[in-house]
Chain A
């Protein structure tokens, strides 16, 4: 298939782009196979690059000047201020004078890799001249692009036909199914080599580390050809006491072959966190000796373990009707089951959509806003996810018990809980590198179906069955942790935002496909670049670091009271709230910390550069030091 077949119009002149909070730009629109490109006219000093994959929904509207809407919205706003030029013209638009720096600021701040949407400022910088006034007369259409990263772009396109063509082309391009046609297979960033960064995708390093800490677990290649479980990586950790044959049999008793594997070994007390999918007990209460054996050997003499089921007890019971189920007490007498119902699937997706809708509704009153926030239930999901992860962590760290986590398929809420629990328990996961490794292990390799779950974001009208923002929920929980423990994570909010953007639309292959098997079939590793390679370049990396970080060897126990759970404004209001003052504060924090570091360095340097008159003075304590002044 040729991309050119899908592109009905490649170039459109005189297109007006407007976004909330930023001055409108007029320019020429180009549609390429993967990008939407708008370069401002007449000077061409500004370019918008939007990855078409980032488009979530395309809406068309006819010749309605957009200022009408603004006016209506304003009439419903706060007390009118007669004759005040500073009064906002449009609800989400700060005063025009500030929108120009805002634009530039955004462009500068836009630290996501250049694929999802980037504005390049070609010098000289434009003055924030108002282009809005020169509206095209005659027929024109408006195409509204709602992006997966929640940005909203409005394109005013002259001519009805052109407008339809543009909308049609974008729609066709953004819903391409084939993975091999996506941008990562074409993206060749300068300065990066293809193999770079993919070494991170190899789980063996972690596995070897665990194997060095304990002899109870061994690296198994039972899934070497993805035969036992198509959604597991080739190498997994299983109990050392059990042979591969038994493991393969146990796999057949678990949905999708996801037999219990080790995902985290807690060195402090030798306990372990395992995950799997539900056992296929079914209505006839089938049993599987090997599965019972597997879980049995995990526990030492007289030990008890916990099974944390991410479904309610009732839902777990109901799952038996469709062949699933849970570990019955009679067959697994040493495992105690705890049920923690976590939302998943369609309801979670709807919760996300409702919240995004509430956030972008400017006419909401304070009361209605809180009602809508509550009604979306998103924060309840955050609270539930965090609580369950804490429960798992508590069982491990405080009770010294082994924990098995599973829901139904074991690819969504299961991973949410295990990944969060590790972040809470393990200081190594809280570094930038460790976090990348955690994502790689617990999300990508562990078979979270990114392609299915992240196909659509909050604004899409398509009502797919597979989409669910589980990964976003994870990122939100991480953000909650970072808010409660501002020094304990080495990375900042910007990394979480970038990860979200890339999970939904990326120039890199890291989040492509649904599991390792698919990735290997599509040759993702051979033909695309790794996101990690991009992020870890020094000039990129510094954007994601938390200046306040200092290594915290302890377990971080977050508060899960409602008062402590906050809306992640940086994500949900990223394109809506004015961030200038907060950004300034962030810069100030960086300045303070860097100021310290540089003066520390300088003074250390000075100290070192000093000739050492008496070598003894350097090693002795202060008192003899002062004695040395004689």
Chain B
């Protein structure tokens, strides 16, 4: 029961008294209205704009937010009003729904924003009134299409391990995915063009030879044309078979329009091969050649516009049918009239009604060849009426078809635009994401630098470095920090990560001896890293580096290990190899890292830099283990910073 008539319920109940005298049995007891509130005004404050309504208005829909006790959560005791921090413009429609019982969708409103508002206030969008329902559904469909497009393209982008068949299919469907596919695309397009041109040129008269009159090129250079035709058909056949092989659902592929066109394009050739050259079938053979022209439809794979045209015609089938039907009716009527009007005149071309069809069609489509013209006055009058009505009958469905085409075309344009903008969109999203993660890393560094500097006593430098972060940011960073502590992993930025991977790829073979334990192996790579930094020599530098100051190595070990879990975890951040050495190479990078940061005095750009943090370690060790970790991670972080 609509709320609109809820207001009449008291009336209907009162009128029920009319049944009482007729009734034979006693009536049931009426439900008592316990909440006998006097109707009062409620103030709804939506982002500062105050709306007022009666309480009973809101009570009409008890399963929405405003109609139920849920709104008590939003009640503000001091101002005695209900405060909602939502869009006041959208709230207008919501409140009007309560008042009139009809939900309207305002055109200027964004569809997703509107949906959110409705969801917030507990109103299902299906009850939008008929006046606005079409618009709502259209917009919603467009939005869904847009989201779907995005998803599909994401699907395209991700590259799982596809087998050969899937790769091939993807190459066929999207030529832009690989160079091979692009080449293939252009080659087939070229051959389609060649084939069509060949078919056309075949029939052109090529010039008379000595003994014969003008004959078409096809008969003169039979062999050449045959070879050309064969080549094209070969290419098309190969393409078709490859597509058939690669198709995920062969049955569906075979039923699709494009494949049927392909088959029809190449079949005449094979049938021609099979058939012999005797006269009774040659007529049929000639007819088959006509089908070769269907090769031109193969272009629709290459041309978006052709596809749109085809799709439009398909979707306008009813309009086209109407056009055809009305034309047929009009043709029959006018042909009959013209026939009888011209019957009397001598030597009239209008010999029968079907013969008049030709005149009527030519006149209605305003062609006017002039091979058949009426001679009597009546004929002329009816002929002019015929041409005028022809214009009307044809002009009526055509705009519908045109608007359909335009709509579909624009949709496609929109899709293309979206694709083009997609890169920018993704870049935007990526920037914001990395921005937030960088902010976190930056704040970590700043915080830890501050700690470091406090220890060394250079306060003012520390304050220079620390930027003021908002409460929200600091809370967010604290949260990320907690996560780090929970998983005993650390966040790294992308470039750092990739650099590690690259270096890992370079370093893994010469550096670590597989026999070494994880620690030693890691040490080895660290050493090798250091060696690499100085001389970029592979193995030669390793042995001396191996014998390098043990305390350095131990320092590194200490540094890079927080417990092995950390080591292992770091490696898991990288690719899947179990080279824990990778982790410690981060430690090894301390050397390079140290250059960039000016302030911390410990960070000097050579292997000795490693000494400093370890040297500082003894004083740090005793106070608290936490500081140790911070310093180590700070060093580790400093590492990361520099590589930026």
Judge: A and B partners, yes or no. Answer: no
User: Could you tell me which B residues sit within 8 Å of A by CB distance?
Assistant: none
